[in-house]
Amino acid sequence: MAISMTHLFVTIMLLAAHTALAETNMLQDLCVADLKGSKVNGYPCKDPSQVTPEDFYYMGLANAADTSNTSMGSAVTAGNVEKIPGLNMMGTSMSRIDYAPGGLNPPHLHPRASEAIFVLEGSLFVGFLTTSGKLISKHVNKGDVFAFPRALLHFQQNPNKTPASVIAAFDSQNPGTQSVGPSLFGANPPIPDDLLAKAFSLGTNDIQNIKGKFQPKK
């Protein structure tokens, strides 16, 4: 009897999991994001009668962004659901990243998406780290594609004397970005100095100096 009840419980759980997975799929043609609506896990659907072609259109990736006022010499222009409401529930988005000569898109991760970049102009040194600490890296040139697995630390560097640009594709309408430096040393409220000092084998004065680089300028 115990075995039968166990089998019944497992069967019910598997059916529930299958149903939950099925319900994450679109049950209608489209769900244009109502950006003014209450955000729970994504955006609610806009009234279909109010949908326009502009909900699916965006020209923000056409031109290079200004990298001169960035500390890292790179600029990201997002084409996610907040810029293209029609992407809501589609599980896809794009960005453009521009790099000044010597520019860097510093180590970061996307918690909700894998990423693939297509090099528009120039050449880059790119790579990601596995959870075992192995660096997978390569020099890529115009026309090349390189993929970064979901939620793994990765970077792109332009080691050249000419600008570079890529188009990045994500398998999420809102992939999210978490950069290592700002997350650890610019957290609000701040992570205790002694904790970071121990984690990085540094003195607390060193940690305070590093934090100073990530604090908002007054």
The predicted-structure confidence for 95-153, as pLDDT tens digits, reads as follows 999 999 999 999 999 999 999 999 999 999 999 999 999 999 999 999 999 999 999 99
The verdict on whether residue 154 carries a ligand-binding annotation is: yes
Banded pLDDT at 17 (limits 50, 70, 90): low
Q: How far apart are CA 90 and CA 26, in angstroms?
A: 8
Q: How far apart are CA 81 and CA 173, in angstroms?
A: 5
Tell me: pLDDT of 20 over 80: no
pLDDT (average), residues 189-199: 97
pLDDT (average), residues 53-60: 97
Tell me: pLDDT of 91 over 60: yes
- pLDDT of the residue at 13: 56
Nearest CA to 111 out of 170, 178, 167, 171 is that of 178
- pLDDT of the residue at 12: 58
pLDDT (average), residues 30-54: 89
Tell me: pLDDT of 9 over 70: no
Residues 141, 202: one domain? no
The verdict on whether residue 108 carries a ligand-binding annotation is: yes
Banded pLDDT at 41 (limits 50, 70, 90): confident
- On whether residue 57 sits in a domain, the answer given is no
- Helix (H) / strand (E) containing 205: helix 204-214
- pLDDT of the residue at 47: 93
Q: Each residue of 199-210: pLDDT tens digit? A: 999 999 999 999
Q: How far apart are CA 125 and CA 157, in angstroms?
A: 5
- On whether residue 167 sits in a domain, the answer given is yes
- On whether residue 30 sits in a domain, the answer given is no
Tell me: pLDDT of 1 over 60: no
Residues 164, 73: one domain? yes
- On whether residue 84 sits in a domain, the answer given is no
Tell me: pLDDT of 23 over 50: no
- Which residues contact residue 74 at a Cβ distance below 8 angstroms, ignoring those fewer than 6 apart? 67, 97, 98, 99, 100, 103, 104, 105, 156, 158
Q: What pTM value is reported for the model?
A: 0.85
Answer yes or no: are the C-beta atoms of 101 and 92 closer than 8 Å: no
214 class by beta-carbon count within 10 Å (0-12 exposed, 13-18 middle, 19+ buried)? middle
Task: Round the average pLDDT of the chain to a whole number and report it.
Answer: 90
DSSP state of 63: S
The verdict on whether residue 105 carries a ligand-binding annotation is: yes
- Number of domains composing the chain: 2
Residues 199, 135: one domain? no
- On whether residue 74 sits in a domain, the answer given is yes
Residues 156, 117: one domain? yes
Answer yes or no: are the C-beta atoms of 96 and 165 closer than 8 Å: yes
Domain that holds residue 140: 62-78+91-174
- On whether residue 49 sits in a domain, the answer given is no
Cross-strand pairs, 42 = none
The verdict on whether residue 110 carries a ligand-binding annotation is: yes
DSSP state of 64: P
Banded pLDDT at 42 (limits 50, 70, 90): confident
